[in-house]
Amino acid sequence: MALDLNAIRGRLNKLQNTSNRKDNLWKPTPGKHQVRIVPYTFSPENPFIELFFHYNINNKTYLSPSSFGRPDPIVEFAEKLKRMGDKEDWKAAKKMEPKLRTFVPVIVRGEENEGVRFWGFGKTVYQELLGYIADPDYGDITDPTSGRDITIEYTSADDAGTSYPVTTVRVKPNQTPLSEDSSVQTNFMENQTNITDIYSELSYDELKSVLEGWLNPTAEESTESVSQQTLSTPSAPKTEATPAVAAAPSNSVSTETKKKMDDVASAFDDLFNG
């Protein structure tokens, strides 16, 4: 049997991407941190990178092609479910829609030797940062010579007494250079990773196959999944089993659930195979 070089290259690429992700992403730990947003080499006019992700599809996360204005089969299927007119289908479709995560290249003070890394955050922090930049008293806080550092305070959910961690940001009042050493500053600007090298985009057909596999798992997986959770919650939390929409033995699936699975399977066929 001939060696499948394409499969080997694909596996190598995935391993390299995993390494890149670990080395090039920064996540705050509980406490205070000071960072500086760096102009993004691959988009100098805007350092904020908006990416949309599908979460908990086969317990994995997938970058949505809609991040780049391209068709996304999971989005198309969610829209199809919404048009089916059923309340539970609509709820399921909403959970399938991709969620926004914004990234920005930063230098973490005290860890400059780590180079430029990407800090990812949600809508609230994004709005706060944009608000500072829109304020004429602050302006372009990312400027390498006259920008401003940012203090980040990160509190875990347990310490904050909330369901989610709490991140607060405060822009420093003083303007400071990215680095006092011009060669170091140049290095920060020139040696950056393209975020698409960290989060790779699947092709339309590849993502469609992922969707089909999620909707139609093996018979054994289907029996276990349907017995634990109904079809109406397709994006269950990680602690729960991912529901299935494929047919399972009649003694483990109610008539109503079986009909629902058939309806969804039919919707998939109509959309992609019709």
What local confidence, expressed as pLDDT, does residue 216 receive? Answer: 84
What local confidence, expressed as pLDDT, does residue 9 receive? Answer: 60
What local confidence, expressed as pLDDT, does residue 238 receive? Answer: 36
More confident residue, 58 or 183: 183
Question: Which residue reads 């990160």 in tokens?
Answer: 154
d(CA 202, CA 187): 31
What local confidence, expressed as pLDDT, does residue 22 receive? Answer: 73
User: Closest Cα partner for 217 from 231, 200, 205, 204?
Assistant: 231
Determine the Cα angle at 76 with ends 273 and 94, to 5°. 130
What local confidence, expressed as pLDDT, does residue 199 receive? Answer: 94
Non-local CB neighbours of 74 within 8 Å, separated by 6+ positions: 54, 57, 62, 64, 96, 98, 207, 210, 211
Is pLDDT of 273 > 60?
Answer: no
What mean pLDDT comes out for the span 151-169? 94
Is pLDDT of 112 > 90?
Answer: yes
For 230-269, write each residue's pLDDT tens digit.
333 333 333 333 333 333 334 444 555 445 555 555 555 5
For 56-85, write each residue's pLDDT tens digit.
888 899 999 999 999 999 999 999 988 887
Non-local CB neighbours of 229 within 8 Å, separated by 6+ positions: 236, 240, 241, 243
Q: Please, where in the chain does CATH 3.90.198.10 lie?
A: 23-70+98-197
What mean pLDDT comes out for the span 193-220? 88
d(CA 208, CA 202): 9
d(CA 126, CA 132): 10
In sequence order, the β-bridge partners of residue 233 are: none
**Local confidence band at 271 (pLDDT 50, 70, 90 cut-offs):** low
d(CA 81, CA 199): 27
Say if residues 72 and 64 touch (Cβ distance below 8 Å).
Answer: yes
What local confidence, expressed as pLDDT, does residue 266 receive? Answer: 56
d(CA 165, CA 155): 6
Q: Which amino acid is at 121?
A: F
Q: 23-70+98-197 belongs to which CATH class?
A: alpha beta
What local confidence, expressed as pLDDT, does residue 224 receive? Answer: 45
**Local confidence band at 144 (pLDDT 50, 70, 90 cut-offs):** very high
Is pLDDT of 130 > 90?
Answer: yes
The per-residue pLDDT of the chain, averaged, comes to 81
Strand 150-155 vs strand 31-37: parallel, antiparallel, or unpaired?
antiparallel
DSSP 8-state secondary structure symbol assigned to residue 104: E
Is pLDDT of 37 > 90?
Answer: yes
What local confidence, expressed as pLDDT, does residue 269 receive? Answer: 58
In sequence order, the β-bridge partners of residue 212 are: none
